[in-house]
Amino acid sequence: MINENILMADLNGVHIHFVGIKGTGMAALVEIVHARGAVITGSDVPEQFYTDEILKRLNIKVYTSFDAKNIDDEIQVVIYSAAYKREENPELIEADKRHIPVLLYTEALGAVSALAYSCGIAGVHGKTTTTGLTGTILKQLNLPAQVLAGSIISSFGNTCTLNNGNTYFVAETCEYQRHFMSFHPKKIILTSVESDHEDFYPTYESIRDAFVDYILLLPENGQLIYCADDKGAVEVSNIIAKKRSDIEQIPYGTSAKGDYSIKIGEIKNGRQFFKIGVFDEEFALRIPGEHMVRNATAACALAIELYKNFNSATNFSEEAKKQVFKNFKDGLEAFAGAKRRSEIVADIGGIIIMDDYAHHPTAISTTLEGLRKFYPDRRIIVDFMSHTYTRTAALLDRFAEAFGAADEVILHKIYPSAREKYDGTVTGRILYERTKQNHPKVSYYEEILDALPYVSSIIREGDLFITMGAGDNWKIGKALKALLEQLEAKRK
């Protein structure tokens, strides 16, 4: 049982050491506790990550190796990433020897959430973007909130967190290994539920039941904001209704009725227009895809419920509704996405290079279909690297069918996870052979950069080249950008 007082609301002068400090979630938590006055040190591998910039900006001392010498009696709490084992990492072993409290990242996140009015954003897809959108809107409303996202959000000031007071705490909460069960939610957004993380959830029912158990953590009269367009989220909602009639259920989506029903509008001038039931006027998003409209509506729903809570109101006055609409409109217009979520890496010579974290068949097909509608005149070339053998094997046929909206597909070897062992039953080439049965133009390059000569030979003005996956094939997008910059410089 975690002692919630270990991470008290006022951390002024409390020395916290982070093991695996460069991880995205860890760096975000660093920002949260730093804003509350903590003294922070940390350790990680010497390889550079985008989070290095965040840590440098905060003037945090980072050791580039794990060593027992990095732990001393000045440290009052140690927080560690799930990537490291408590019984193996020398710093964690030393902390235990010194009887320093040691918390897993998710336990620390849970302890922070216990000290505020906290809201969890959950689901197999859309967590990071929905969290980023929520924070962007709360910032416009100027509510006293801290928001923690699983990636850098440009509208947060190119960091993973928004720090605007700590009455409310909104965080992306992860289902893997039931990590979200450490969280203390008052409200939950549920974006989607389907099979994923097959190494831990071998059946759909096992992952569905994890989401059910998470929602059951809500206090009496807590709120579940769920996507009525997602079959799994609706099933979870129905189960919850039978188990806990006190939980207020708020649906959103094109299938929903009421305040958070969605009507999808036109795409014009690089904007996706849409309407939400509670408002008479249209909103617009700069990021493509109807799934992004759903994420934006979920964010609006949570922001409205927090606005009501903050103002002790049950409903909007007409004046309040007008002001909130303007805040929402400005916030959504300001939202340029999250890092690795339909992120435009470059636009050179009429060629757009984009990067996206989509690593599940549903996310791949949804993202590509959104891009096809948003960029109807562009040829879309997707470079995909599948992540984990277990996911690839379990969803092989669905992966092979996921690229229908792309004009051309490039595939590579599977990007493995440290948590699984290769058993030889599935490879990147097997995925390639299966994908060829569903798509007219597919090529395979075992190593990522081996595809660069081919890509550079076919790329032309008007193309959209997108790297997709949770692996490191973003490197080919970076290399293509450098190549195009060189060509552009020569033309000038």
Q: What is the DSSP string of 447-489?
A: SGGGGHHHHHHH--TTEEEEEESSSSTHHHHHHHHHHHHHHHH
pLDDT for the residue numbered 363: 86
CATH number, position 32: 3.40.50.720
pLDDT at 1: 41
| Assessment of whether the complete model's pTM goes beyond 0.85 | no
Pick from 372, 424, 341, 359: nearest CA to 398: 359
Say whether both 125 and 222 belong to one domain: yes
The answer, yes or no, to whether residue 283 has pLDDT greater than 90, is yes
Given 281, 315, 334, the domain boundary residue is 334
Residues 367 and 469 in one domain: yes
Kind of pairing between the strands at 39-43 and 61-63: parallel
CATH number of the domain bearing residue 406: 3.90.190.20
In this structure, what token pair is assigned to residue 425? 């039953």
Q: Which residue has the higher pLDDT, 298 or 7?
A: 298
Within the chain, how many helices (H) and strands (E) appear?
15, 21
Q: What is the mean pLDDT of residues 223-251?
A: 97
pLDDT tens-digit map of 73-114: 999 999 999 889 999 999 999 999 999 999 999 899 998 899
Tell me: do 157 and 299 sit in the same domain: yes
Question: Which CATH number do you get for residue 122?
Answer: 3.40.1190.10
84-87: long-range pairs with CB below 8 Å, 24+:
84/19, 84/20
**Residue 384 is assigned to a structural domain of this protein:** yes
Q: How many Cα neighbours within 13 Å face the side chain of 39? A: 6
Residues 14 and 144 both lie in one domain: no
**What is the spatial distance between Cα 78 and Cα 18, in angstroms, rounded to a whole number?**
6
- Asked whether residue 244 is domain-assigned, the answer is yes
Give yes or no: residues 187 and 319 share one domain.
Answer: yes
> Rounded CA gap, 337 and 326, in Å?
20
Query: 167, 168, 191, 42: which is closest to 105 by C-alpha?
Result: 42
> How does residue 10 score in pLDDT terms, banded at 50, 70 and 90?
confident
Mean pLDDT of the chain: 89
Is residue 111 one of the residues assigned to a domain?
no
State both tokens at 402: 């996921």
The highest-confidence range among 389-393, 413-417, 454-458, by mean pLDDT, is 454-458
Domain range holding 425? Answer: 343-491
Do 86 and 140 fall into the same domain? no
Do residues 155 and 139 touch, judged by C-beta distance below 8 A?
yes
Residue 248 and residue 144 share a domain: yes
Is the same domain home to 410 and 456? yes
* Euclidean distance between CA atoms 464 and 444, whole angstroms: 19
> How many domains are there within the chain?
3
Structural domain includes residue 315: yes
In a domain, 269, yes or no: yes
Q: Looking at the chain, how many residues does it have?
A: 492
Tokens of 398: 């669905």
The dihedral built from the CA positions of residue 452, 456, 461 and 462, taken in this order, carries a sign that is: negative
Q: Both tokens of residue 480?
A: 């293509």
- Final residue of a structural domain among 293, 310, 334: 334
Same-domain pairing of 99 and 139:
no
How many angstroms separate the CA atoms of 449 and 378, rounded? Answer: 24
* 199 plus 66 within the same structural domain: no
Question: Among 42-46, 132-136, 148-152, 462-466, which is the least confidently predicted range?
Answer: 148-152
Is 331 a residue whose pLDDT tops 60? yes
* Stretch 211-228: mean pLDDT: 97
> Do residue 464 and residue 447 come from a single domain?
yes
Residue 419 pLDDT grade (very low, low, confident, very high; cuts 50, 70, 90): low
Residue ending a domain, choose from 45, 80, 106: 106
Residues 203 and 352 in one domain: no
